[in-house]
Amino acid sequence: MTGEIVALPYERPALAQALGADYEERLLAAHHWMTLARELDSRMLGLQRQGRIGFYGPATGQEAVSVAAGLASRPEDWIVPGLREQLVALVRGHSLARYVHHLFANDRDPARGRQMPCHPTAREVKYVSMSSVVGTQITHAVGIAYGLKLRKDTGVALAFFGDGATSANDFHAGLNFAAVLSLPVLFCLTNNQWAISVPVERQTHVKELAMKGSAYGIPSRRVDGTDFVACYATFAEGLEAARASPGPLLAEFLLYRMTPHSSSDDPSRYQAPDWMAHALAHDPVRRMEELLTRLGILSDAAHTSVREEATRLVKEAIAEAESVGAPTPESMFTDILASGPLPVPPRSEPA
């Protein structure tokens, strides 16, 4: 994936085959979520720089993968994220307001301020909180998939991780365990080509990371992660295959990281000067907009309306979150003990 990409080369028959007969509605829904995500990243990075939230890890450039996963998965599927999959939870039904409460770590944060920002927990959409420890979520997802198989559940575990995690122990242990036991897990490798400051070519000798799946007998493929249509088709086919004949699959989604690793990072210290130009040439939001415009699905007025709506929704969520105070001291025991602190037994007097 190098050079300029002007437009997605899809016509309507190909879209109907990849996305279904209702492909126009699905594309418009994807565009809505991708636009909202871009607005959310921009606003939250700004708030972090102003000191209004403590930390933020943007997912700019990864919108096509996350939206496709959210739209293609079913309610019974489990999402085990890496670092930038918060959008999957939102697409699956997690409240934007609740997520922003989490970012502010206020009294309505489901984690009650106990977890880092961008590490939401969304029980209602089976979205497991990430840990930030590289690769550990892979074995967690495999364990969930093992439980699904034992219970004869139709759900599939989706494990998200980056290129750096393919050099971690949990990657190899997880893939081997899933393959040996034929578990319903879809390994979603979001290769944005940077493990914080380490380029992918400095951590592995294989030409494509998807090749690592073959060492464990796992069907694998490499996908253009900036192409929503290709991403959605990959998730839809992979999830259907995992349900029909339980067994793992690996999909490598090739992306371009369009922002710093997090609000604590300065990529100008290690990225080449032309990196951002390459990244912008593969902007998944711009590519989606060009496709919709070329097919006459999205008018200029509708495009403006989508952007304005995204701005309104994010601003309203921020205003609500900033009106809520910090967690109360009593909440320290919420979700920890059944009914508050346990009684302390009386101290026995020495005989």
Q: Which domains does the chain have, with CATH numbers?
A: 12-326 (3.40.50.970)
What are 130-152's pLDDT values in tens digits?
Answer: 878 888 999 999 999 999 999 99
Provide the mean pLDDT of the chain.
89
One-letter amino acid for residue 131 of the chain: S
Q: Which of 31, 257, 282, 287 is catalytic?
A: 257
Residue 205: how many CB atoms within 10 A of its CB? 5
Instruction: Please tell me the pTM assigned to this model.
Output: 0.89
What are 215-252's pLDDT values in tens digits?
Answer: 999 999 999 999 999 999 999 999 999 999 889 999 99
Distance between CA atoms of residues 73 and 12, nearest Å: 23
Distance between CA atoms of residues 259 and 42, nearest Å: 10
Q: Which of 222, 261, 282, 287 is catalytic?
A: 261
Confidence band for 118, pLDDT divided at 50, 70 and 90: confident
Q: Which of 74, 123, 270, 312 is catalytic?
A: 270
Lowest mean pLDDT among 22-26, 52-56, 255-259, 274-278: 274-278
Catalogue the E-assigned strands of the chain: 78-80, 157-162, 185-191, 194-195, 198-199, 220-224, 249-254
Lowest mean pLDDT among 29-33, 77-81, 162-166, 305-309: 162-166
* Residue 270 bears catalytic tag: yes
Distance between CA atoms of residues 242 and 31, nearest Å: 27
* Residue 261 bears catalytic tag: yes
User: Is the pLDDT at 202 greater than 60, yes or no?
Assistant: yes
Distant-in-sequence, close-in-space partners of 265: CB < 8 Å, separation ≥ 6: 196, 197
